[in-house]
Structure 1
Amino acid sequence: MLKIVATFKNSFGKNQMWSFNDPDTTKTGTEIKGLLERMTNVKLCQKDGAELFHTVETAKYVETIETIIF
Protein backbone atom coordinates (compact mmCIF):
# COMPACT_ATOMS: atom_id res chain seq x y z
CA MET A 1 0.00 0.00 0.00
CA LEU A 2 1.25 3.46 -0.90
CA LYS A 3 0.41 6.59 1.08
CA ILE A 4 1.53 10.17 1.54
CA VAL A 5 2.71 11.09 5.02
CA ALA A 6 2.93 14.83 5.68
CA THR A 7 4.35 16.67 8.66
CA PHE A 8 2.80 19.96 9.70
CA LYS A 9 3.64 22.35 12.51
CA ASN A 10 0.71 23.32 14.70
CA SER A 11 0.26 26.89 15.90
CA PHE A 12 2.27 26.04 19.05
CA GLY A 13 5.23 24.83 16.94
CA LYS A 14 4.75 21.09 17.59
CA ASN A 15 4.71 18.44 14.86
CA GLN A 16 1.41 17.08 13.57
CA MET A 17 1.35 14.07 11.22
CA TRP A 18 -1.26 13.44 8.54
CA SER A 19 -1.50 10.63 5.98
CA PHE A 20 -3.54 9.81 2.90
CA ASN A 21 -3.87 6.33 1.35
CA ASP A 22 -3.57 5.63 -2.39
CA PRO A 23 -2.43 9.09 -3.56
CA ASP A 24 -2.27 10.21 -7.19
CA THR A 25 1.40 9.60 -8.02
CA THR A 26 1.21 11.62 -11.23
CA LYS A 27 1.18 14.88 -9.25
CA THR A 28 4.49 16.72 -8.96
CA GLY A 29 6.06 17.68 -5.65
CA THR A 30 5.04 21.29 -6.24
CA GLU A 31 1.41 20.28 -6.84
CA ILE A 32 1.32 18.15 -3.71
CA LYS A 33 2.85 20.92 -1.63
CA GLY A 34 0.26 23.36 -2.98
CA LEU A 35 -2.58 21.01 -2.04
CA LEU A 36 -1.18 20.49 1.45
CA GLU A 37 -0.75 24.25 1.89
CA ARG A 38 -4.45 24.64 1.09
CA MET A 39 -5.14 22.54 4.20
CA THR A 40 -3.39 25.20 6.28
CA ASN A 41 -5.86 27.83 5.04
CA VAL A 42 -8.99 25.93 6.12
CA LYS A 43 -8.37 26.29 9.88
CA LEU A 44 -11.00 23.68 10.80
CA CYS A 45 -8.89 21.31 12.90
CA GLN A 46 -8.05 22.48 16.41
CA LYS A 47 -7.09 20.71 19.61
CA ASP A 48 -6.48 22.25 23.05
CA GLY A 49 -6.44 25.73 21.50
CA ALA A 50 -3.86 24.84 18.85
CA GLU A 51 -4.51 25.06 15.13
CA LEU A 52 -3.31 21.58 14.06
CA PHE A 53 -2.29 22.24 10.44
CA HIS A 54 -0.65 25.66 10.73
CA THR A 55 2.26 25.18 8.29
CA VAL A 56 3.29 22.26 6.09
CA GLU A 57 6.87 21.11 6.67
CA THR A 58 7.50 17.88 4.74
CA ALA A 59 5.75 15.19 2.74
CA LYS A 60 6.89 11.76 1.59
CA TYR A 61 5.55 8.62 -0.02
CA VAL A 62 5.54 5.60 2.27
CA GLU A 63 5.07 2.14 0.80
CA THR A 64 4.08 -0.78 3.01
CA ILE A 65 4.79 -4.25 1.71
CA GLU A 66 2.74 -6.98 3.34
CA THR A 67 3.95 -10.56 3.20
CA ILE A 68 1.46 -13.28 4.12
CA ILE A 69 3.07 -15.84 6.41
CA PHE A 70 0.20 -18.35 6.50
Structure 2
Amino acid sequence: MLKLVAIFKNSGGKSHTWSFNNPDTNNTPAQIKGLLERIGALNLFHSEGFDLFDTVESAKFVETIETEIF
Protein backbone atom coordinates (compact mmCIF):
# COMPACT_ATOMS: atom_id res chain seq x y z
CA MET A 1 0.00 0.00 0.00
CA LEU A 2 1.25 3.46 -0.87
CA LYS A 3 0.54 6.53 1.28
CA LEU A 4 1.34 10.20 1.09
CA VAL A 5 2.45 11.28 4.57
CA ALA A 6 2.71 14.99 5.31
CA ILE A 7 3.94 16.84 8.38
CA PHE A 8 2.19 20.11 9.21
CA LYS A 9 2.84 22.68 11.94
CA ASN A 10 -0.18 24.04 13.76
CA SER A 11 -0.54 27.74 14.48
CA GLY A 12 1.11 27.11 17.87
CA GLY A 13 4.20 25.46 16.32
CA LYS A 14 3.39 21.82 17.19
CA SER A 15 3.78 19.12 14.50
CA HIS A 16 0.88 17.03 13.18
CA THR A 17 0.96 14.13 10.72
CA TRP A 18 -1.62 13.69 7.98
CA SER A 19 -1.74 10.76 5.54
CA PHE A 20 -3.63 9.88 2.38
CA ASN A 21 -3.94 6.34 0.98
CA ASN A 22 -3.27 5.54 -2.68
CA PRO A 23 -2.15 9.01 -3.84
CA ASP A 24 -1.59 10.00 -7.47
CA THR A 25 2.16 9.63 -7.97
CA ASN A 26 2.10 11.46 -11.31
CA ASN A 27 2.08 14.88 -9.62
CA THR A 28 5.36 16.76 -9.28
CA PRO A 29 6.71 17.65 -5.83
CA ALA A 30 5.71 21.29 -6.47
CA GLN A 31 2.15 20.24 -7.32
CA ILE A 32 1.89 18.08 -4.20
CA LYS A 33 3.21 20.90 -2.02
CA GLY A 34 0.70 23.30 -3.58
CA LEU A 35 -2.18 20.92 -2.90
CA LEU A 36 -1.07 20.41 0.71
CA GLU A 37 -0.79 24.17 1.19
CA ARG A 38 -4.39 24.49 -0.02
CA ILE A 39 -5.49 22.04 2.68
CA GLY A 40 -3.83 24.23 5.29
CA ALA A 41 -5.40 27.38 3.91
CA LEU A 42 -8.90 25.96 4.39
CA ASN A 43 -8.54 26.19 8.21
CA LEU A 44 -10.93 23.25 8.65
CA PHE A 45 -9.37 21.66 11.72
CA HIS A 46 -9.05 23.42 15.07
CA SER A 47 -8.12 22.22 18.54
CA GLU A 48 -7.61 24.18 21.74
CA GLY A 49 -7.61 27.47 19.84
CA PHE A 50 -5.05 26.42 17.21
CA ASP A 51 -5.39 25.76 13.47
CA LEU A 52 -4.06 22.18 13.25
CA PHE A 53 -2.73 22.19 9.68
CA ASP A 54 -1.38 25.74 9.44
CA THR A 55 1.79 25.21 7.36
CA VAL A 56 3.11 22.16 5.54
CA GLU A 57 6.66 21.23 6.58
CA SER A 58 7.39 18.07 4.58
CA ALA A 59 5.82 15.21 2.64
CA LYS A 60 6.88 11.76 1.51
CA PHE A 61 5.53 8.64 -0.10
CA VAL A 62 5.53 5.63 2.22
CA GLU A 63 5.11 2.15 0.76
CA THR A 64 4.15 -0.75 2.98
CA ILE A 65 4.82 -4.22 1.65
CA GLU A 66 2.98 -7.00 3.42
CA THR A 67 4.22 -10.57 3.09
CA GLU A 68 1.94 -13.28 4.37
CA ILE A 69 3.95 -15.93 6.19
CA PHE A 70 1.17 -18.44 6.98
SS of structure 1 residue aligned to 2:58:
strand
Provide TM-score, normalisation by structure 2: 0.97
**1:51 matched to which residue of 2?**
51
Query: How far 1:69 moved relative to its partner?
Result: 1.2
**AA in 1 matched with 2:55:** T
SS of structure 2 residue aligned to 1:20:
strand
Question: Structure 1 residue runs of 4+, over 2 Å off?
Answer: none
Query: How far 1:40 moved relative to its partner?
Result: 1.1
Query: How far 1:50 moved relative to its partner?
Result: 1.1
State the percentage of identical aligned residues. 61
* CA RMSD, 1 decimal: 0.5
In structure 2, list runs of 5 or more residues that go unmatched.
Answer: none
**2:20 matched to which residue of 1?**
20
**AA in 2 matched with 1:31:** Q
| Partner Cα separation in structure 2 for residue 67 and residue 41 of structure 1 | 39
SS of structure 2 residue aligned to 1:7:
strand
**1:10 matched to which residue of 2?**
10
Q: How many positions carry a matched residue from both structures?
A: 70
